[in-house]
């Protein structure tokens, strides 16, 4: 297989135009191009005024690949295609009895369980929340009726935190074994649109993701795995540094010496339990801020110029960074084109924002977190206060937001112009906030530490220079965005196990090893592979 990169065609080209373009670029006689697949398709909208092209990477099967490679040996865009297919690292012997546990069924736990199931290890998944359907009903309870279910919500339940999301499927993690391709292939197999395999910034959207997750669970079960809902792990049994089992909220104990902990970043009581059991962990940096909303048309115009609204390009996104004078970095986070701001708390009397969209991304507003990086020195008590102090800060800010929002799960909000001017907002402009159950206009300054407010105030006009209108008076800020990533790391060694608790595999976002659906899925695969190899090695020694 040969890989051809940077093949540009006008965006409105017919699908049939691709094969002749490849043939022409590689100077192939008729019939020499046997088949090809598009590996990646992107566009570059940065050069304003010039005609926009799709830029392809294609993998081609040729009649005489060696001859073509020799002919183009000095051409950096013509190379042998790498093998990106997935190769399982182990297979469980028939009747293998030592079943691993996977705690949490978000993207990390799903992929860990799927890979273990595909290798024949018949994992048992313990998920504290409910299956998709019931969970969706509970989550809508907060959004529509101001009623939070702390056991079943945006953070907890089948599909994890990524279920009600924009479903963006890209990440910047190093992925030398192409596990990201495995993640995408499994999503497609479970019903995601095939284009996620090649568009440069794939996304699924909430509605489709719910079906995909259900089908992945069905595959795990068909392969002999079990997925148990409403089973919260509340304690661990550890003997001489070896994990021996877990206890559930029901009081049931399950013996196990290989357990993946894929908890997500909101499992605060579980983090506290692990700390009490002396599992090694440390505080780590995360970010705090607000969600910002603009009309999507404003972002499209700024990003795509005359191609704004083009159906082949979809709603435009952005990524912004500003280094403030007080030393803080402010950046856009989890940008959701054509989406909505969502209530994302899992705890009573707290308010947290995040963003989601449907596959079509056709809601009126664009939203993104505008957040400031903070580190353990900023947490109450500083570094000396231990690994849980970042959680204490999150809790404090989320409680403040609840009070500022009026104490009924509405979120505090302010217009960008008023925020920059330091005056409370009293009326909306043209931009209508999408947060449900609703927002309470006022002053956001008391919701975050002064250094964060100062840095965001400086960043917004700077962002307005990059995207015209970004700092328009009536853009809406909604607070607070505090769960950008885990505030701690459950540190693991080269063998993917906890530094001091053998058999415990901290994984995914909650453990500090992922920051998004794709990276959590990749981490789940890596950890499942390490666990499988360790299980087999232990079995051989017995
Ligand atoms: P989670 O998805 O958080 O899953 C952890 C699971 O563990 C949960 O289901 C939880 O119920 C369970 N659990 C916790 N404690 C216990 C316990 N003690 N016992 C049993 N079960 C337990 N990322 C993207 O890449 N793209 C996006 O577009 C995107 N949009 C998002 C939108 C929203 C609204 C939110 C909230 C997040 C979004 N994210 C997005 C982030 C993404 O969802 C997370 O990075 C990802 O889900 C992390 O995966 P995970 O499996 O590590 O953890």
- Give 25-74 pLDDT, tens digit per residue: 999 999 999 999 999 999 876 666 678 899 999 999 999 999 999 999 99
Beta strands in 296-364 (DSSP E): 321-323, 329-336, 340-343, 353-356
State which of 165, 180, 511 you would mutate to test the pocket of ligand 1, scoring each by most atoms of that ligand within 8 A of its C-beta.
Answer: 165
Ordered strands of the 2-10 beta sheet: 33-43, 53-62, 2-10, 78-80
Ligand 1 atom, smallest distance to 108 CA = 51
Give residue 17 CA to ligand 1 midpoint distance, Å.
Answer: 41
Polymer length in residues for the chain:
542
Distance CA 525, CA 139 (A): 28
Give residue 379 CA to ligand 1 midpoint distance, Å.
Answer: 23
Condensed to tens digits (0 to 9), the pLDDT of residues 351-388 reads 999 999 887 888 999 999 999 999 999 999 999 999 99
3-state SS of 491-508 is: CECCCCCECCCECEEECC
User: Contacts for 227-231 with beta carbons within 8 Å, 24 or more apart?
Assistant: 227/105, 227/113, 227/125, 227/127, 227/158, 228/124, 228/125, 228/126, 228/127, 229/127, 229/129, 229/130, 229/131, 229/157, 229/158, 230/127, 230/128, 230/129, 230/130, 230/151, 231/126, 231/127, 231/128
Give residue 515 CA to ligand 1 midpoint distance, Å.
Answer: 9
Condensed to tens digits (0 to 9), the pLDDT of residues 329-346 reads 999 999 999 999 999 999
C-beta of 517 in contact with ligand 1 (< 6 A): yes
C-beta of 481 in contact with ligand 1 (< 6 A): no
C-beta of 354 in contact with ligand 1 (< 6 A): yes
| Helix, strand or coil, per DSSP, at residue 5 | strand
- Whose Cα sits closest to atom 23 in ligand 1? 516
Ligand 1 atom, smallest distance to 203 CA = 28
Condensed to tens digits (0 to 9), the pLDDT of residues 5-27 reads 999 999 989 999 999 999 999 99
C-beta of 520 in contact with ligand 1 (< 6 A): yes
Distance CA 471, CA 463 (A): 7
Ordered strands of the 233-239 beta sheet: 233-239, 242-248, 253-255
- DSSP label at 262? -
Q: Residue 37, Cβ neighbours under 10 Å: how many?
A: 13
Predicted local confidence at residue 542, as pLDDT: 78
Distance CA 41, CA 24 (A): 19
C-beta of 180 in contact with ligand 1 (< 6 A): no
Task: Give me the residue label for tokens 């499209």.
Answer: 300
Predicted local confidence at residue 44, as pLDDT: 74
Predicted local confidence at residue 162, as pLDDT: 77
Ligand 1 atom, smallest distance to 154 CA = 36
C-beta of 369 in contact with ligand 1 (< 6 A): no
C-beta of 205 in contact with ligand 1 (< 6 A): no
Distance CA 297, CA 475 (A): 13
Distance CA 134, CA 377 (A): 41
Condensed to tens digits (0 to 9), the pLDDT of residues 424-469 reads 999 999 999 999 999 999 999 999 999 999 999 999 999 999 999 9
Share of the chain above pLDDT 70, in %: 99
Ligand 1 atom, smallest distance to 509 CA = 52
Q: How many CA atoms lie within 13 A of 302 on its CB side?
A: 19
- DSSP H helix total and E strand total for the chain: 12, 23
Condensed to tens digits (0 to 9), the pLDDT of residues 277-335 reads 999 999 999 999 999 999 999 999 999 998 998 888 899 999 999 999 999 999 999 99
C-beta of 129 in contact with ligand 1 (< 6 A): yes
C-beta of 512 in contact with ligand 1 (< 6 A): no
Distance CA 323, CA 459 (A): 8
The tokens describing 200, both together, are 């440069």
Distance CA 281, CA 492 (A): 9
Q: Where are the domains of the chain?
A: 2-80, 101-281+490-541, 283-481
CATH number of 2-80: 3.30.70.2700
Give residue 378 CA to ligand 1 midpoint distance, Å.
Answer: 25
- Whose Cα sits closest to atom 7 in ligand 1? 104
Distance CA 97, CA 113 (A): 16
Predicted local confidence at residue 171, as pLDDT: 83
The DSSP element (H or E) to which 268 belongs, if any, is helix 268-276
- The dihedral through the CA atoms of 363, 484, 173, 167 has a sign that is negative
Q: How far apart are the first and last CA of the chain?
A: 44
C-beta of 125 in contact with ligand 1 (< 6 A): no
Candidates 6, 488, 1, 44; CA nearest to 261 is 488
Candidates 111, 360, 392; CA nearest to 275 is 392
| Helix, strand or coil, per DSSP, at residue 482 | coil
State which of 150, 183, 233, 264 you would mutate to test the pocket of ligand 1, scoring each by most atoms of that ligand within 8 A of its C-beta.
Answer: 264
Condensed to tens digits (0 to 9), the pLDDT of residues 60-119 reads 999 999 999 999 999 999 999 999 999 999 999 999 989 999 999 999 999 999 999 999
Quick check: 201 and 97 in contact, CB under 8 A? no
Share of the chain above pLDDT 90, in %: 90
Quick check: 232 and 479 in contact, CB under 8 A? no
Measure CA 43 to chain center: 23
The tokens describing 210, both together, are 């719910």
State which of 160, 227, 513 you would mutate to test the pocket of ligand 1, scoring each by most atoms of that ligand within 8 A of its C-beta.
Answer: 160
CB burial class (10 A; 0-12, 13-18, 19+) of residue 237? middle
Predicted local confidence at residue 48, as pLDDT: 63
The tokens describing 57, both together, are 């990477």
The tokens describing 39, both together, are 């590996």
Condensed to tens digits (0 to 9), the pLDDT of residues 454-466 reads 999 999 999 999 9
What is the gyration radius of the CA atoms in the chain, in angstroms?
A: 24
Quick check: 305 and 49 in contact, CB under 8 A? yes
| Helix, strand or coil, per DSSP, at residue 167 | coil
Give residue 162 CA to ligand 1 midpoint distance, Å.
Answer: 5
Distance CA 227, CA 217 (A): 7
State which of 131, 155, 230, 263 you would mutate to test the pocket of ligand 1, scoring each by most atoms of that ligand within 8 A of its C-beta.
Answer: 263
C-beta of 356 in contact with ligand 1 (< 6 A): yes
- Whose Cα sits closest to atom 9 in ligand 1? 160
CATH 3.50.50.60 assigned to 101-281+490-541: yes
Q: Interface pTM (ipTM) of the complex?
A: 0.99
Minimum mean pLDDT range among 44-53, 180-189, 260-269, 507-516: 44-53
Q: Residue 495, Cβ neighbours under 10 Å: how many?
A: 12
Q: Is the pLDDT of residue 416 over 90?
A: yes
| Helix, strand or coil, per DSSP, at residue 10 | strand
Q: Residue 88, Cβ neighbours under 10 Å: how many?
A: 13
């Amino acid at each position: 297989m040969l890989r051809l990169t940077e093949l540009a065609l006008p965006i409105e080209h017919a699908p049939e135009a691709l094969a002749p373009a490849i043939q022409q670029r590689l100077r192939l006689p008729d019939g020499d191009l046997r088949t090809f697949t598009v590996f990646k398709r992107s566009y570059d909208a940065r050069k304003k005024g010039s005609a926009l092209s799709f830029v392809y990477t294609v993998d081609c099967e040729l009649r005489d690949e060696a001859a073509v490679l020799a002919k183009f040996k000095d051409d950096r865009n013509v190379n042998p295609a790498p093998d990106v297919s997935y190769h399982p690292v182990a297979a469980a012997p028939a009747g293998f009895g030592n079943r691993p546990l996977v705690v949490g069924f978000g993207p990390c736990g799903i992929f860990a369980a799927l890979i273990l199931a595909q290798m024949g290890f018949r994992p048992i998944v313990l998920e504290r929340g409910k299956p998709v359907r019931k969970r969706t009903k509970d989550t809508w309870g907060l959004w529509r009726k101001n009623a939070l279910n702390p056991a079943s919500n945006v953070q907890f339940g089948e599909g994890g935190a990524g279920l009600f999301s924009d479903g963006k499927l890209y990440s910047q993690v190093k992925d030398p074994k192409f596990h990201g391709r495995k993640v995408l292939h499994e999503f497609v197999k479970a019903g995601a649109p095939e284009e996620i395999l090649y568009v440069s910034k794939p996304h699924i959207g909430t509605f489709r993701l719910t079906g995909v997750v259900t089908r992945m669970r069905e595959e795990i079960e068909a392969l002999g795995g079990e997925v148990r809902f409403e089973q919260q792990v509340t304690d661990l049994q550890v003997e001489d540094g070896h994990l021996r089992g877990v206890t559930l909220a029901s009081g049931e104990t399950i013996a196990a010496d290989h357990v993946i902990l894929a908890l997500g970043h909101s499992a605060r009581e579980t983090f506290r339990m692990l700390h009490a059991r002396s599992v090694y962990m440390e505080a780590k940096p995360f970010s705090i801020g607000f969600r910002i909303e603009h009309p999507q048309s404003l972002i499209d115009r700024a990003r795509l110029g005359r191609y704004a609204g083009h159906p082949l390009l979809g709603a435009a996104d952005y990524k912004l960074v500003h280094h403030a004078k007080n030393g803080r970095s402010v950046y856009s986070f989890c940008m959701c084109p054509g989406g909505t701001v969502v209530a994302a708390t899992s705890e009573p009397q707290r308010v947290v924002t995040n963003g989601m969209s449907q596959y079509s991304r056709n809601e009126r507003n664009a939203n993104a977190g505008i957040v400031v990086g903070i580190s353990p020195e900023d947490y109450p008590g500083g570094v000396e206060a231990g690994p849980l102090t970042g959680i204490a800060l999150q809790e404090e800010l989320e409680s403040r937001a609840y009070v500022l929002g009026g104490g009924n799960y509405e979120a505090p909000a302010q217009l960008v112009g008023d925020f920059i001017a330091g005056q409370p907002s009293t009326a909306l402009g043209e931009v209508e906030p999408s947060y449900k159950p609703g927002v309470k206009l006022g002053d956001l300054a008391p919701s975050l530490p002064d250094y964060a407010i100062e840095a965001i105030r400086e960043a917004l006009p700077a962002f307005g220079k990059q995207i015209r209108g970004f700092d328009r008076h009536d853009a809406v800020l909604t607070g607070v965005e505090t769960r950008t990533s885990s505030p701690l790391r459950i540190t693991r060694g080269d063998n993917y196990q906890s530094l001091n608790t053998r058999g415990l595999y901290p994984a995914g976002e909650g453990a500090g090893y992922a920051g998004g659906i794709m990276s959590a899925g990749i981490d789940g695969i890596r950890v499942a592979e390490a666990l499988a190899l360790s299980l087999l090695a232990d079995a051989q020694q017995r």
